[in-house]
Amino acid sequence: MAESLNAAVAVLRKNKLKLTKQRHALLEFLLTNQSHYTDVVTVDAYMRTEFPGMSHNTVYRNLKEFEEVGIVEQNTEQERARVKYQCDAQHSHHHHFICQNCGKVTELQMCPMAFFTDQLPGCEVTGHSFELYGLCAECKTAGVTTESLAKN
């Protein structure tokens, strides 16, 4: 975690963003939870517990700045904004498998865009988002089924 924290601090400094005690605490929270996306509302509640005078706007602004400099990835699920520490700062373009039971995020090593652009001759693709959802190996081994997820 210390190596990732140092890398994040270096990114902040490179982008002329001060390392305040609030930003440091936010980075530590994100690093502690880096294997999962966390609802922005949860991040906000945590930060406001740690820093009672901190405004919602400050939390959201810091998350947006972290996203702009590549420290944070953002995702939306069921209209809820979620964030996590950037799992691969060297390659900001990547995709994920997200376990629908435990929320664990696994980075995928390839982008499937060539498959789709080959099917769209003459078209110009300007962007994409690609995530796979299902059950991770640990949840499957524990006996979780997609049927049990549908019941919840």
72-112 pLDDT per residue, tens: 988 887 788 888 888 555 556 777 788 888 888 887 778 78
Query: d(Cα 30, Cα 51) in Å, to the nearest integer?
Result: 16
Please report which confidence band the pLDDT of residue 35 belongs to, taking 50, 70 and 90 as the band edges: confident
Q: Is 123 assigned to a binding site?
A: no
Name the amino acid, one letter, at 51: F
Tokens of residue 110, six digits: 């390839």
The per-residue pLDDT for range 60-77, each reduced to its tens digit, is: 999 999 999 989 988 887
Q: Is 111 assigned to a binding site?
A: no
Query: d(Cα 124, Cα 27) in Å, to the nearest integer?
Result: 37
The residue ranking higher by pLDDT, 152 or 47, is 47
What domains sit in the chain, N to C, each tagged with a CATH number?
2-85 (1.10.10.10), 95-151 (3.30.1490.190)
Please report which confidence band the pLDDT of residue 132 belongs to, taking 50, 70 and 90 as the band edges: confident
Mean pLDDT, residues 18-22 taken together:
95
Q: What is the pLDDT of residue 99?
A: 85
pLDDT at 15 over 60: yes
**Mean pLDDT value across the chain:** 86
Q: Is 128 assigned to a binding site?
A: yes
Q: What is the pLDDT of residue 79?
A: 80
Q: Is 139 assigned to a binding site?
A: yes
Q: What letter would DSSP give residue 53? A: T
Whether the predicted model's global pTM rises above the 0.85 cut: no
